Structure 1
């Protein structure tokens, strides 16, 4: 099916016997080596501040340059929020066991969709990471993966992210730009994400869709996702274009709807995907294709029984008192003495906010931003002196990632160097900058 061409899908009755086979198993493994993690955080204080009073003079500006009080934040950094993308990592585990690459792609598509689920109830803003800030999340003992991320650029803000499991690897560099349009805020993620599987040899890339925050001025904030996400298997040339349809009061579509068709390397439809990014994703295998006789001659996909690939986990008890965090988010900011000194857990403003000291958190936030600004001015001064003397100036270099040519996209991107976990084992953090 060509891009932009609609199709009619005819699906047989739901396969009741296989209605929910592959949900994330939230119960941790039992054993002496599994780390005990917290299940709650301090309740959110009852404080409020008008968002409009802060950004009413910022229409059309880049919001990453506007200082915002912690009142609009949640006590997590953007690096930690990025790590939440792998909350439903069990979908990648299922994909890794597939013998058919088109079925494998169906689970990957469900995984991509699941990454947006929390935004339906999380309208708070994560902390903008400081340049050189890192975050590690080691869940090898119970979830089977570990992740490291680093803020590699400040203007434009960019983060590099790397996750490894025994069966798959995920990595990306992401840059986020945003614009305030008056009644709504749009966030545009840029950069390519990669997933590779050891068993099949499949190498996937995909991009992220536009995020829109509505009711900035009046009313209750709500978040929508819209746009097309192209998922491509570079090994087999299988492709899936996930269409995130914008929510509209005038549309007959189900709100937050996501659809897609998986095409193999011969451009033959194999699976039809349908669901919503906040609840679940289903798939059905295409049995035959006919052409609609009337209208525009759309292809009609006659499919077998549907199967639920992913369904969102139920919310935690009293989660509305804890910023609507899920089970993974609650554990992310738990203090840990073994992580790098640049880890988001060590941010004093974020820690104060989690503990309920918002006034003190705002003071610390200003101090850290001033410290970062002073360092940037020093680098600019050094660059000017080097240029005056006709000498090269290297500028800031990330610690755990380096800029290399991406052989898939043929563009420069930050790639994990592979040193972090060895340094953690030895507790050698002397190469970390002083940012807090």
Structure 2
């Protein structure tokens, strides 16, 4: 049947659909194969249309983002563009990396376990549990080179520190230590932009050492996909294999993360086995990475829950943070003598947390310009950046599965342990009693005069900034904190 002979109502509906596609997809976006949100199949319509509405401001910002991304199909977009604050959350990548410590008390339990395969099951469970923080789809801030983040770990006797050791490509290094175990990670990612989604491939190396048994473990993580970044409700999925190897005994855990299927089938599900050194099954794990993990032992050993996700906060929680993630920004969770380079102090992060998006965008732009200025000075002088607390390993041990980790391995320097020990002993050093981020100024800079730079506001075409911002506030009062 020709269109002329079609029902006028149908023709009108098609016309409206065509106009809507042309508007939403911004000159050609309609060819993209966006992924449906499986939550929509379970969500009950409240009747007020709230779920379907998108603020005009957000819609226009998404279109502006698409104008930057549309020429990058198939590219690694991790560090190719400066993204607007509307798609960001008030954390840095260092803090998000630190969410691996959310359920680190599981490692204490592993240290106390006598059975080798039960220890491995617990460490695999820890690796799975870290994904329970990953359903958030907002992007954290890229750390400034030399930026740090520390935390006194809850529920265990230990501390965690991370530092941005490289900017291009972005690489973070982290170290946690307690009397029972150590956890070292060099973290980077490779991304692939595919139109309406981005695939994220983890790079780097992880080492966990249990001190009592002197066993070392590694973790190889699956792929993560962020769906509907331009059109539709944004959601994430992780799929593929997670592998944990006992590098001392040869035992391993192979856990399959099931990819979300049609109508949301299989989303969040994980299942796998604990294998001995000969590859023979000894235990099985099953559960959902955003809910719980259970272990089943052979020969009638029964099923036991190894981990259950803690309840989410019930008060206003616009970014979907867990209680642990909220604590990442609290001054009270930092060790004494807060380093001036700590992520908590970033003015753009603080502004976004307070809901001042325009100020956050301007502060973000200022920090980026200050970082570029430092790089130009290093290039002109022919020098390179040297991390304060981590050093590049010259002979890092790599497992067969880690041969192509995509980055160097960074290890903690003895100087950090000395600094932390001294600050813990003093407990009243500069910055130790800071009650808020206003008491300490963010200062990760190599050159002291960088903090005094005057940075012009970003152009009006960028949604990352709105109006002038005096960048000197980033370093004002930096003598409040002792620069280690």
- The question of whether the paired residues in 2 share the 8 Å contact of 1:399 and 1:431 is answered with no
| Cα contact 1:153–1:159 (8 A) shared by 2 | yes
Gap change, CA 1:247 and 1:396, over 3 Å in 2: same
Aligned-partner SS, 1:80 = helix
Q: Which residue of 2 aligns with 1:165?
A: 178
| 2:390 match | 401
1:47/1:110 CA distance change after superposition, 3 Å: farther
Work out whether 1:182 is the aligned partner of 2:195. Answer: yes
Q: Is the 8 A contact 1:184 1:216 kept in 2?
A: yes
Q: Which residue does the alignment assign to 1:240?
A: 253
For the Cα contact (< 8 Å) 1:319–1:325, is it kept in 2?
Answer: no
Secondary structure of the equivalent of 1:220? coil
Structure 2: gaps of 5 or more residues: 1-54, 424-428, 432-442, 452-473, 475-484
- What is the 5 A alignment of 1:94-109? 94-109=109-124
Given the alignment of the two structures, is residue 340 of structure 1 paired with residue 353 of structure 2, yes or no? no
* Residue number in structure 1 paired with 2:38: none
Once the two structures are superposed, residues 402-427 of structure 1 have per-residue CA deviations (whole angstroms, 9 ceiling, x without a partner) of 01121344975100013225325355
Tell me the CA shift for residue 367 of structure 1. Answer: 0.7
Which residue does the alignment assign to 1:17? Answer: none
Provide the rounded CA distance (Å) in 2 between the counterparts of 1:48 and 1:304: 53
Q: TM-score, normalised by structure 2?
A: 0.70
* Aligned pair partner of 2:309 in 309, 312, 320: 312
Q: Following superposition of structure 1 onto structure 2, how do residues 365-380 of structure 1 map, counting pairs within 5 Å?
A: 365-380=364-379
The structure whose residues are more often strand, as a share, is: 1
Task: Name the SS of the counterpart of 2:199 in structure 1.
Answer: strand
Measured in 2, the distance between the counterparts of 1:406 and 1:280 equals 34
Q: Please, which of 51, 66, 70 is the counterpart of residue 55 of structure 1? A: 66
Residue 105 of structure 2 aligns with which residue? 90
Would you tell me which structure has more helix in proportion to its own residues?
A: 2
The Cα of 1:360 is off from its aligned counterpart by 1.1
* Structure 1 partner of 2:162: 149
Preserved contact between residue 149 and residue 162 of structure 1 (Cα < 8 Å) = yes
Task: Give the aligned partner of residue 130 of structure 1.
Answer: 144
Task: Determine the structure 2 residue equivalent to 1:422.
Answer: 418
Taking the TM superposition and a 5 Å limit, the aligned residue runs for 1:5-404 are 48=58, 50-58=61-69, 59-60=72-73, 61=75, 62-120=77-135, 122-139=136-153, 142-249=155-262, 254-287=266-299, 304-321=301-318, 323-335=319-331, 338-383=337-382, 395-404=384-393
Paired residue secondary structure (2:304): strand
State the TM-score, normalized to the length of structure 1.
0.78
CA distance in 1, matches of 2:398, 2:111: 21
CA distance in 1, matches of 2:360, 2:445: 24
CA spacing shift, 1:139–1:360, aligned 2, 3 Å: same
Cα displacement string for residues 35-61 of structure 1 (whole angstroms, at most 9, x for unaligned residues): xxxxxxxxxx99745334213442333
2:294–2:305 CA contact under 8 A, matched in 1: yes
2:232 and 2:56 mapped to 1: Cα distance? Answer: 18
Aligned mates of 1:46, 1:176 — CA distance in 2: 32
Question: What secondary structure, in the 3-state scheme, does the structure 2 residue paired with 1:192 have?
Answer: strand
Shift of 1:353: 1.4
Give the direction of change, closer, same or farther, for the CA distance of 1:431–1:417 in structure 2 (3 Å limit): farther
Please state whether the residue corresponding to 2:409 is helix, strand or coil: strand
- SS at the partner of 1:275? strand
- The C-alpha deviation readout for 1:249-299, integer Å capped at 9, x for no partner, is 168x53221111111113221001111111111111133xxxxxxxxxxxx
Query: Aligned partners of 1:396, 1:65: CA distance in 2, in Å?
Result: 21
How large is the Cα RMSD of the aligned pairs? 2.5
Aligned partners of 2:164, 2:125: CA distance in 1, in Å?
Answer: 27
| Partner secondary structure for residue 67 of structure 1 | coil
Counterpart secondary structure, 2:79: helix
SS of aligned partner of 2:134:
helix
Q: Which structure carries more relative contact order (alpha carbon 8 Å, separation 6+)?
A: 1
CA distance in 2, matches of 1:143, 1:46: 46
Structure 1 distance, partners of 2:219, 2:210, is 15
SS in 2 for 1:340: coil
